[in-house]
Amino acid sequence: MPEGPSIILLREKAAPLISRKILNVKGDSSKFDLQKVLNCPVLDLKTFGKEFLICLPDFTIRVHLQLFGSYLINERKDGALKLGLIFGEDKELNFYACDARIIEEPLDQVYDWSAEVMHESWDAGKALKKINAKPDRLIGDVLLDQGIFAGVGNKIKDEVLYEVRVHPESLVGEMGKKKLADTVDTCVSKSFEYLEWEKSGRPEGFLKVHRQKECPVYHTPLTSKKIGKTKRQSYFCENCQKLYI
């Protein structure tokens, strides 16, 4: 599943399409009438966590790539096209295996930008307040809560917890204020590092534990386990990462 930084990179790549008019539309998306977007100019491109937002004059196209979604700019591939926006002059934006729908409301009424870890309105204090309101939650679940850490996915979650040396099954109410604050701040810094990693072509070495086999410090086998209510696979080191319970 693409994470927040990957969607920001999509926005940067697609930026030349801003101000262009949608001249044709294709795909099998059933969530809205595709003809609705014809002749609409793209006013802006935004992101919220893992969601890509194409802002048109009276509404917004919201695209979520989900688990296996992908996109291509100015090219196509075999396979079912979910949404294809044609701008002419060999300019197009194509999405596959995604969820695409329309948002009619103003985006400021739909999204809490302070929960987006890479947005200029990100508010670490609000995140900590939300976390502390439910002290019995596992930190591994909390970091994947898009209402608190929009954009953080399984890869960033694993890398953050390894960096702060916290076991993913730790109870947030037992971690202490400083460790929680460090974890929140690391979610932000690791997300920006992830973006630079993406831009560099994903060289080896950035992922210390996610889908890795051994601890980079002790060279002992890492644990791979589905944890918490999310049941997402977590990779962690039983030696390096402390369990707070």
Label residue 8 exposed, middle or buried (CB < 10 Å: 0-12, 13-18, 19+). Answer: buried
Q: What is the pLDDT of residues 182-222, one digit of tens each?
A: 999 999 999 999 999 999 999 999 999 999 999 999 999 99
131 is in which domain, residue-wise?
Answer: 113-236
Chain centroid to CA 241: how far? Answer: 24
CB 117 within 8 A of CB 153: no
Do both 79 and 141 map to the same domain? no
Is residue 244 over pLDDT 90?
yes
Does any domain span residue 245?
A: no
Q: What is the pLDDT of residues 11-40, one digit of tens each?
A: 999 999 999 999 999 998 888 899 999 999
Do both 155 and 82 map to the same domain? no
Residue 46 belongs to what H/E stretch? strand 44-48
Query: What was the pLDDT predicted at 29?
Result: 82
Q: How many CB atoms lie within 10 A of CB 220?
A: 12
Is residue 137 over pLDDT 80?
yes
Query: What was the pLDDT predicted at 30?
Result: 82
Pick the last residue of a domain from 65, 86, 110. Answer: 110
Q: How many CB atoms lie within 10 A of CB 169?
A: 18
Does any domain span residue 171?
A: yes
CB 118 within 8 A of CB 9: no
Do both 100 and 172 map to the same domain? no
Pick the last residue of a domain from 90, 110, 130. Answer: 110
Q: What is the pLDDT of residues 39-56, one digit of tens each?
A: 999 999 999 999 999 999
Do both 106 and 119 map to the same domain? no
Do both 36 and 135 map to the same domain? no
Q: What is the mean pLDDT of the chain?
A: 96
Do both 174 and 228 map to the same domain? yes
CATH number for the domain harbouring residue 137? 1.10.8.50
Do both 136 and 232 map to the same domain? yes
Do both 71 and 123 map to the same domain? no
Does any domain span residue 244?
A: no
Q: What is the pLDDT of residues 61-109, one digit of tens each?
A: 999 999 899 999 999 998 899 999 999 888 999 999 999 999 999 999 9
Pick the last residue of a domain from 69, 88, 110. Answer: 110
Rounded to an integer, what distance in angstroms lies between the CA atom of residue 224 and that of residue 234?
A: 6
pTM: 0.94
Does any domain span residue 29?
A: yes
Question: How many domains, the chain?
Answer: 2
Do both 62 and 175 map to the same domain? no
Do both 166 and 186 map to the same domain? yes
Do both 124 and 179 map to the same domain? yes
Do both 81 and 151 map to the same domain? no
